[in-house]
Amino acid sequence: MIEWAVITDNLPEYAAGLWLTLQLTFLSLCAGLLLAIPLAVLRSSGPSAVSRMVWAYTYFFRGTPMLVQLLLIYYGLGQFEWIQARWAEGNPLWLVLREPYGCALITFTLNTCAYTTEIIAGALRTTPHGEIEAALACGMSRLTMIRRILVPGALRRALPAYSNEAIFMLHGTAIASTVTLVDITGAARNAYSQHFAPFEAFIFAGLIYLCITFALVGLFRLAERRWLSHLQPRKATATRQ
Amino acid sequence: MIRKILLLAGLVLAGQGALAKDWDQIRFATEGAYPPFNVTAPDGSVQGFDVDIANALCAEMKAKCSWVKQEWDGMIPALMSRKFDAIAASMSITAERRKKVDFTDKYYATPLALVARKGSPLKPDLTALKGKRIGVQRGTVADNFAGRFWADHGVELVRYAKQEEAYLDLATGRIDATWVDALEADAGFLTKPAGQDYDFSGSKIYGRNADEKAVIGEGVGIAVRKRDTELRDKLNKALAAIRANGTYEQIRKKYFPHDIYGE
């Protein structure tokens, strides 16, 4: 008793939704990662005011649901007359916050950046002492050491944990549909309300997410083989005759 | 001892089954976010025109009614999966919904209207709406209408889970207008402080041709599962009775100054 029409009628909408989901996921992951690297260095730089400020930021974004953050930014900010006045002026910087796309992208970026900062900061703290001593012995300055030794090593060790974050982020973008964006989940909700057939509408959405997750896992496996091979279990070198 | 308990439990369950068949107890569902038809009171209970009418029907049928709150876009699937027995949530009787559920006779009828900032030149015409962003509540008659006649002709539809969210975005200027049930807009937004800068834009639409009438439907009824014809008939009889004995008019006056039943 599967109504295929639910899926076939809405195929173009699902396709457009897939494109939007991919955009939101990859743009927020890229922006989040780029911001997270300097923040992680500051976060793990020892007890200081800056480190505590970064901690407060990651604590807020990891301690509240992403849905609440999105509703705060989308509906919450629009409530203030000061913001509405900026929108009326047509200031492009503030108009980003008027568009659901901009609100979703900012929320997702801030959220994934908070998690990624903690992941990389954790990896930075586990840098082997020997590497740091060697860098100091070579006469590297602090900045050179961060650039050449600390960050590359930490990024490698953070890869497995970061692959989970990327998958969580993909699934997290589903809440974009609560602020009128038609991503994969939004397309499913539209199909569902037109045909009153939740199973077909959502199982198809689920299958699309499953495929993207599969591709993501594959990409991260390739990345780990490339950059993390020195930590993989070693293959037997001698073959038995 | 265990046997006795099982026997007792069996009797209780059998008793409940028998009661349900006689429709002494009816579980109604409503949304609780569609003023003044159904709203959630601060204590979490539901109130409004839909709720009062359904409760009056229950009193007429001498049945005990309970209320369930259900999100709008899951309303019909939840009815079909027996989460409750009837929907009293301002649901318009349309051909599309009739494929899945059965309806009682209408208990009111209402036109669709465009709500925009006062003095807006918008009207519910394709030429006037081209290139505009129009907010609708997903899965409503307004959504079906706009999706059918406007969406493919250059009108940008923005779909919301709740009508209240569309009003919020109208106020922030994210949408140019919202296309909505006129009675709901009047009582739920335009007569409230938040809606003081807004008004109906253009005329109200009951359906200007056969196509539009088919989408807008024949009024608002209570939805029941198709197999529950007995419940539908009982509700229809009770509806006729409260229309005849003045109870309906009493409830209507509480919410609306003018007749909303239609001809």
Question: B74 CB contacts (<8 Å, ≥6 apart)?
Answer: A198
Question: B98 CB contacts (<8 Å, ≥6 apart)?
Answer: none
Question: A121 CB contacts (<8 Å, ≥6 apart)?
Answer: A40, A43, A44
Residue ranges matching CATH 3.40.190.10 in chain B = 24-109+219-255, 112-216
Which residue does chain A place closest to B161, by CA atoms? Answer: A178
At B19 the pLDDT is 45
At B18 the pLDDT is 43
Which chain B residues touch A180 with a CB distance below 8 Å? 135, 158-160, 169
What fold does the segment set B112-216 form as a domain?
Answer: D-Maltodextrin-Binding Protein; domain 2 (3.40.190)
At B68 the pLDDT is 94
Angle at A62 between CA A57 and CA A67, to 5 degrees: 110
Express each pLDDT in B186-226 by its tens digit: 888 998 898 999 999 998 898 888 889 888 888 899 999 99
For residue B59, the distance in angstroms to the closest alpha carbon of chain A comes to: 31
Contact A193 B168 (CB under 8 A): no
Q: What is the pTM of this model?
A: 0.77
List, as ranges, residues 93-122 from A with C-beta within 8 Å of B.
Answer: 98-100
CATH class of the domain whose range is A4-229:
mainly alpha
Contact B138 A98 (CB under 8 A): no
A192 inside 8 A of chain B by CB: yes
Domain covering B24-109+219-255 assigned CATH 3.40.190.10 in the classification: yes
Domain boundaries, given as residue ranges, for chain A: 4-229
State whether ipTM is beyond 0.85: no
A175 inside 8 A of chain B by CB: no
Average pLDDT, chain B: 89
Nearest to A177 by CA among A165, A190, A192: A190
Mean pLDDT of B63-67: 95
Which residue does chain B place closest to A176, by CA atoms? Answer: B160
3-state helix, strand, coil in chain A (%, to 5): 80, 0, 20
At B15 the pLDDT is 47
For residue A196, the distance in angstroms to the closest alpha carbon of chain B comes to: 6
Burial B198-219 (b: 16+ CB within 10 A, else e): bbbbbeebebeeeeeeebbbbb
For residue A48, the distance in angstroms to the closest alpha carbon of chain B comes to: 41
Size of interface A-B (CB pairs under 8 A): 49
Contact A87 B169 (CB under 8 A): no
Q: Beginning with the edge strand found earlier in the chain, give each strand of the sheet holding B33-34 in spatial order.
A: B33-34, B38-40, B46-47
